[in-house]
Amino acid sequence: METDWVFGYGSLIWNPGFDFAESSLARIHGYHRSFCISSTRYRGTPEAPGVVLGLDRGGSCIGMAFKLRPQTRLAALQALFEREMTGGVYVARVVAVCVGPHQREQALAFVANPCSAAYARLAEAEIVRRLSHCQGERGPNRDYALSTWRSLAERGVHCPHLNRLVPQLTA
């Protein structure tokens, strides 16, 4: 991938797992944050699939842009591909991101693959049910959603999708 930036919209915001030189809030256009990926390992099981975020077509999304360090760039990209590109769930794309009011960069983003068996457009009630009850290797599905919501809120970002779901998870 010919880019020095990575765009995070879910767990990469609060758990990037790679070395970076700087980070900043950023917006992409053409994709929105959506619980559209079934998780049968990290946040669920094959018997009780959880659900995680993907970038789905349409709209826009505020997340974090991470600028990679030149000396650790290849290791960071390798770690990201090992983490995100299992099972064809995501497609790696280089997308335009707005970093600040006047800076545009090209960033690597992991976009939901609608051809994947894990891709699912679920009703909000089913998303809430999965977030509330499912658990996988990395813990409760609920924690994933709350960590993403908190990380965005701490940065002054109010995601309408998460803002609708979180009260149903904390009730």
Whole-model pTM? 0.94
pLDDT at res. 68: 97
Q: State the helix-helix crossing angle for 124-133 and 160-170, rounded to 10 degrees.
A: 50
Q: Where are the domains of the chain?
A: 5-159
100: DSSP letter = T
CATH fold of 5-159 reads Hypothetical upf0131 protein ytfp (3.10.490)
Helix and strand element counts for the chain (H, E): 5, 7
Is residue 95 within a helix (H) or strand (E), and if so which, with residue range? Answer: strand 90-99
pLDDT at res. 129: 97
pLDDT at res. 2: 81
pLDDT at res. 1: 63
| pLDDT score of 101 more than 90 | no
φ/ψ bin of 36: left (φ > 0), alpha (ψ from -120 to 50), beta (otherwise): alpha
Query: Using CA atoms, how far apart are residues 22 and 107, in angstroms rounded to an integer?
Result: 13
Rounded to an integer, the average pLDDT of 139-152 is 97
- 3 vs 34, more confident: 34
Angle at CA of residue 26, ends 24 and 151, nearest 5°? 65
pLDDT at res. 100: 80
| pLDDT score of 103 more than 80 | yes
pLDDT at res. 112: 98
